[in-house]
Structure 1
Amino acid sequence: MGATQAEKRLAASIAAHESWASTEDRAARTAPARRALEDKFLEQAGGDPQRAEHLKKAHFQRLALKSAQARRRAKAATQQADAAEVELASLRGDAA
């Protein structure tokens, strides 16, 4: 029988941690990706570094907005689940 999705994720996480633990120069390892992202913004800006910087800032602000929205949704879901637990406990007659 094959590994479950959870087991595959856990194995991948372990491998990633081991890989980073054996990396002496983290900045050098991630430099190509950072350079590629900078190049992407510069290309989108038609080679204009100022426009590229604004595109980069907009990109990261968009990520921050999505993160805030996701946290708000998660908080609302948690509050809703907590309220449902309280209601269920009261229907069963559990002590709060």
Structure 2
Amino acid sequence: MTADRSLIARLAAHESWAKTADPSARTAPARRALLDRFERQVDPDGVLPPSERARRAGHARKAYFARLALRSAQARRKTPDVVDGNVRPSRRDEDKPQ
């Protein structure tokens, strides 16, 4: 079942991280790949000096995550909170006089 697969995968992930001596070293290649992505985005031909490329890549990364945050906020405003099948009022609704 899908729920079982999800739980099994979560269990395996926790066991794997429990055996990891240096989590930072384990995730370093992924962090480097993410930064490289933004450097390629702002300087695809590699002509900028390293300091300028890094500065621009930093701004591109901040813009990317700000865009994600904006989309997340917009999606949360569209979707009502549902708990136990009951729709909770949003925070905006709580501020309104009844």
Normalised by the length of structure 2, the TM-score is: 0.69
Structure in which a larger fraction of residues adopt strand: 2
For residues 1-96 of structure 1, what are the structure 2 equivalents within 5 Å? 4-46=1-43, 47=46, 48-74=53-79, 76-78=80-82, 82=86
Deviation at 1:62, TM superposition (A): 1.6
> Could you tell me the percent identity over the aligned residues?
54
**What 5-or-longer segments of structure 2 have no aligned partner?**
47-52, 88-98
How many pairs were matched up?
79
**What 5-or-longer segments of structure 1 have no aligned partner?**
84-96
Deviation at 1:77, TM superposition (A): 4.3
| Pairwise CA RMSD | 2.2
Work out which structure has the larger RCO, using CA pairs closer than 8 Å and 6 or more positions apart in sequence: 2
Normalised by the length of structure 1, the TM-score is: 0.70
Deviation at 1:78, TM superposition (A): 2.2
**Structure 2: distance between partners of 1:19 and 1:54:** 34
Structure in which a larger fraction of residues adopt helix: 1
